[in-house]
């Protein structure tokens, strides 16, 4: 196995674990702490998606059979999760940082975004695990 593949796979797994883990925790905590974790989450999301694309290029380019279809669905779920977090939680986090806004309403928006993203990321995780057996 090439060192580039090992590094890309390690970055992908580590960033995805952080991203999904913080999403699950923030969903459970009702958005508490979302303002501190939003930027690291989005950074991890970018790293996970970019390294996932690179891994696809290395391992699955030119093929679109059952395993690739399952992985593609998982990738779409992950990208949708990042979109939900960015579009729903992002503005709420900015309002929390700015002050002068109903903090409970902003945290509720963060919680909703994290719950949706956690479900999508769980689906992406399941897809990555079962793609080998599809």
Each residue's pLDDT expressed in tens, for the chain with a length of 134 residues: 799 999 999 999 999 999 999 999 999 999 999 999 999 999 999 999 999 999 999 999 999 999 999 999 999 999 999 999 999 999 999 988 887 678 889 999 999 999 999 999 999 999 999 999 98
Global confidence as pTM: 0.94
Cα–Cα distance measured from residue 114 to residue 23, given in angstroms and rounded to the nearest whole number: 5
**In contact, 45 and 82? CB cutoff 8 Å:** yes
User: What is the total count of domains within the chain?
Assistant: 1
Place of tokens 């309002």: 95
Q: In the prediction, which pLDDT does 100 show?
A: 63
**What is the domain extent for residue 49?**
3-133
pLDDT of amino acid 116: 98
């Amino acid at each position: 196995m090439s060192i580039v593949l090992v590094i890309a796979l390690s970055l992908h797994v580590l960033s995805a674990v952080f991203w999904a883990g913080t999403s699950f925790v923030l969903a459970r905590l009702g958005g508490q702490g979302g303002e501190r974790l939003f930027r690291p989450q989005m950074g991890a999301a970018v790293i996970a998606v970019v390294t996932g694309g690179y891994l696809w290029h290395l391992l699955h380019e030119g093929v679109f059979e059952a395993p690739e279809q399952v992985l593609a669905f998982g990738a779409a779920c992950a990208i949708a999760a990042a979109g939900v977090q960015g579009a729903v939680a992002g503005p709420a986090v900015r309002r929390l940082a700015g002050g002068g806004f109903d903090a409970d309403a902003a945290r509720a928006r963060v919680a909703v975004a994290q719950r949706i993203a956690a479900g999508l990321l769980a689906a992406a995780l399941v897809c990555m695990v079962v793609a080998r057996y599809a």
